[in-house]
Amino acid sequence: MTQIGLTVEKPETFRGDAVARGVFDDTDLSRLGVPGLTDQAKKLRFKGGAGESFFAFDRFGSPSKHLLLVGLGKRSEYGPAAARAAAATAARRLRERFASTALFALEAEAAGRRAPVVLSALAEGTLLGNRRFQKYVTDKERRFEGLSGISLRVARKSAVLQEALGLGKVLADATGYARELATEPANVLTPEFMAEEARKLARRHGFELKVLDEKACAKLGMGAYLAVARGSHHPPRFIHLRYRPKGAKFHIAVVGKGLTFDSGGISIKPADGMGAMKSDMSGSAAVMGAMAAIGALKPKVAVDAVMAMCENMPGGGAYRPGDILTSMSGKTIEVLNTDAEGRLTLADALCYVQRQKPDAVVDLATLTGACVVALGPDFSGAMGNDQPLLDAVLAAAKESGDDLWQLPLPAAYRKYIKTDVADVANMSRIRWGGAITAGLFLSTFVDEGRPWVHLDIAGPALRDDDGGDAHRAEGSGVGVRTLVHLVLSKAGGPRKA
């Protein structure tokens, strides 16, 4: 377990393995008191820009230790996003030197009144950059647990900064938990595995929990969700976590797509890249992570968290193209492609959670490759039926470090999911705008007047390369911090950890 705390100690006298020192693009390196540092930086073309870093050629301070310089970019633009990225870069680089203890002097107070927010982001970045998924690596030469002790340097300790540190730690732990879930292989992480994780979470934080098996779901009429699950020998599990604090004045529902593996079903996916479909439950991982943070922070906002967990496989009982399904809402769906399965599970999950009468609904799903084509690997698409809620989600994402971009939901595009033989088709009849038509499909199952936002997180959910504070070949935990910041905003602001 990594320990993290605040310190006012000078970098020169820190008794640890390494110091990571933040440098703005206007910093005079000669004033840092390290002989030859300016010449070293010039030789390495280091200018203090965001994303830049280098280790000093010689050991530093007394006792001697590694010195890592990390670029912070422009001083006037320094904020939580830059701080989080710089801290994660520093943590990754320190792993290269197998450092166990380090001091991070990354200039939180340079942000002025935003210093607590920046400090929280620094805590997130250091902890997440330091954390790697090594559960199944047995080669001891390859395994390294990273920093066991992290000290964040501040000019002066205060209760406000201590609270900010606590919030950052909670958010990092929650995001890290979601990342581990999304990175677990599908032979381990089954619907029942997620149900057991929910049971642990409920016991830890006092949540109410319902886990519905296929019989209970059939009784509720979840024909769309159960159809997707039929091809797998792993039975589905519908998870409902309920948080009801005293004095809550807002009630939000969060829904996570829960495909523990998606082969595409009978409309089978190409073999190349199919292994990444273990992360098709990243929406539910984000919901679980967010609930872990909510349980720790205890904001006065009522939350219902729903995850329709299942596996989409081409077994003998699998649903087929051409099938017509009856959803929980009573609306019928013509199946044009069994690889458009996530929206079917979400249709029933949305119907179920709206019966809890929430003030707003947010769903997260690795829903469409079309969203990745449109926005690339770093951005999630945001769509919805209520601009004030969309604005609140976008603001929460900006605070959290998740990259979101709003996409339209034009009613005119509904014609592309019309069908002559059912109420709606699960696939557009044209290639274009697939993320939008998928969002329109989901909107069909949202009650009139119910504020709702859909986040298509297909791009950033599983990293192909290092990005921000996430690592290559791992889940990113996208959406966790956005959900938590959204809930905190409805409670009136951040709470103590």
Distance in angstroms (rounded) separating the CA atoms of residues 405 and 152: 32
User: Which residues, 6 or more positions from 102, have their beta carbon under 8 angstroms from its beta carbon?
Assistant: 16, 17, 18, 19, 20, 90, 94, 147, 149, 150, 151
Q: In this structure, what token pair is assigned to residue 79?
A: 């904020």
- What is the reported pLDDT for 469? 85
pLDDT in tens, 167-196: 999 999 999 999 999 999 999 999 999 999
For residue 42, count other CB atoms closer than 10 A to its CB.
11
**CA geometry: angle 293, 388, 402, nearest 5 deg:** 40
- What is the reported pLDDT for 492? 82
Burial of 203 (0-12, 13-18, 19+ CB in 10 A): exposed
> Of 113, 130, 88, 205, whose CA–CA distance to 164 is shortest?
113
CATH superfamily of this structure's domain 3-155: Leucine Aminopeptidase, subunit E, domain 1 (3.40.220.10)
pLDDT-based confidence at 461, cuts 50/70/90? very high
Residue with tokens 């938990």: 177
Matching CATH number, 177-490, of 3.40.630.10, 3.30.43.10, 3.10.20.10, 2.170.190.11: 3.40.630.10
- What is the reported pLDDT for 33? 87
What ranges do the domains of the chain cover? 3-155, 177-490
Does residue 151 carry a pLDDT above 90? yes
Catalytic residues: 269, 343
- SS3 at position 390: helix
Q: Average pLDDT of 152-165?
A: 97
Q: Report which residue type is found at 162.
A: Q
Query: CA 389 from chain center: how many Å?
Result: 19
pLDDT-based confidence at 495, cuts 50/70/90? low
Distance in angstroms (rounded) separating the CA atoms of residues 343 and 439: 9
pLDDT in tens, 201-215: 999 999 999 999 999
- What is the reported pLDDT for 453? 98
- What is the reported pLDDT for 494? 62
Does residue 119 carry a pLDDT above 60? yes
Does residue 496 carry a pLDDT above 80? no
- The beta strands (E) that lie in 166-292 are given as 208-212, 237-243, 251-262
- SS3 at position 380: strand
Mean pLDDT of the residues in the chain: 96
For residue 259, the cross-strand partners are 310
Does residue 497 carry a pLDDT above 60? no
Question: Does the fold of domain 177-490 match that of domain 3-155?
Answer: no
